[in-house]
Amino acid sequence: MASGFSETDRVRETQSLGAGPYLKKPYTLEKTGVAVKMNMERKLKPFPPMRLSLIGMAGSGKSYCSMKLAEHGFRRFGCDELIAEKLAHELFGSDGRPIETGEWMGFPYERQYKKHESKYLAFEKQVLSEILDYLQNPKIDRDEHIVVDTTGSVIYTGMEMMEKLRQNTIVVFLSTPPEVQKQLLNAYITNPHPMLWRDVFHKKPNETNQKALARCYPRLFSERERLYFRYADFTIDYHSCRKDGFGANDFLNKLR
């Protein structure tokens, strides 16, 4: 099936949109002014004010969809970028070169992994708490459209925090079918992103790192899917988001 993700979208997905604890304005409005704002209002007119949270595995399309919504006037909270901002002082290799968050965290068989996994989760909870504070602020515009682009590990922030997210937003699960597990695992191995394994990973005697990852990943996948379904208000299937021309209006229409 043809993908709806253009190369421009993929590049944009990797760019940081965070500035401080949240985006101060939809970034397209800052760049293009009143005319674009009016155009966005026309695009969103058929829809009531929405507060959405996107959950799912890394690679499910959360960032792609949230950025499409941002182009339609949604205020976007990018949790990955905001966590990276808090870790910025640590994102350097032993040779002093800048590194990505995934390289900093490493793989679950590496020595520093447990320490970095715990630190990442602590910052994730902090970021989500800041976002929830914003959502619960009675002074914000109640007609504002908001999308929270969570990490794949948001479900590990705890039941209390997840319930608050459900109370303040519509939680949309972008599902990933079992047949794409290998594809997602290969993407993680070749271009590591922060992945919280939460003690699911363990090696057998004489087992290689790669074989251990391949054996343990389906269990991680299964356990996460169960939690995603628990907290989701809506589920959008993986292949729908990858149809040619799939955009913000298509996404919003699935929530009607």
What CATH number is attached to the domain comprising 91? 3.40.50.300
Q: Number of C-alpha atoms within 13 angstroms, CB side, residue 180?
A: 16
Question: Which pLDDT score, from 0 to 100, does residue 175 have?
Answer: 95
Mean pLDDT of 80-94: 96
Sign (positive or negative) of CA dihedral 34, 42, 255, 187: negative
Find the helix or strand (DSSP H, E) in which 170 lies. strand 170-174
Q: Residue 17 is inside which H or E element, if any?
A: none
In a domain, 62, yes or no: yes
Residue 12 placed within a domain: no
DSSP-derived secondary structure for 63-106: HHHHHHHHHTT-EEEEHHHHHHHHTGGG-B-TTS-B--HHHHH-
For 218-236, the pLDDT digits (tens) are 999 999 999 999 999 999 9
Q: Is residue 4 part of a domain?
A: no
User: Given pLDDT bands bounded at 50, 70 and 90, which one contains residue 51?
Assistant: very high
65 part of a folded domain:
yes
Indicate the average pLDDT of the chain: 84
Question: Is 74 within the bounds of a domain?
Answer: yes
Three-state DSSP class for 234? strand
pLDDT tens digits for range 161-198: 999 999 999 999 999 998 899 999 999 999 999 999 99
- Cα distances (angstroms) measured from residue 22 to each of 16, 28, 136, 236: 12, 15, 14, 26
| Residue with token string 């699960």 | 173
Whole-model pTM?
A: 0.81
The pLDDT of residue 256 is 81
User: Residue 75 domain-assigned?
Assistant: yes
Burial of residue 35 (number of CB atoms within 10 Å: 0-12, 13-18, 19+): exposed
Question: Confidence class of residue 48 from pLDDT cuts 50, 70 and 90?
Answer: low
Structure tokens at 46: 């058929």
In a domain, 105, yes or no: yes
Asked whether residue 43 is assigned to any structural domain, the reply reads no
Residue 133 to residue 136: CA distance in whole angstroms:
5
**Token output for 216:** 């343990």
The domain of 104 spans 51-253
Sort 198 into a burial class: Cβ within 10 Å, 0-12 / 13-18 / 19+: middle
Number of domains in the chain: 1
Q: Which residues contact 165 (CB under 8 A, 6 or more apart)?
A: 53, 128, 132, 148, 154, 171, 231
Round to the nearest angstrom and report the end-to-end CA distance of the chain: 25
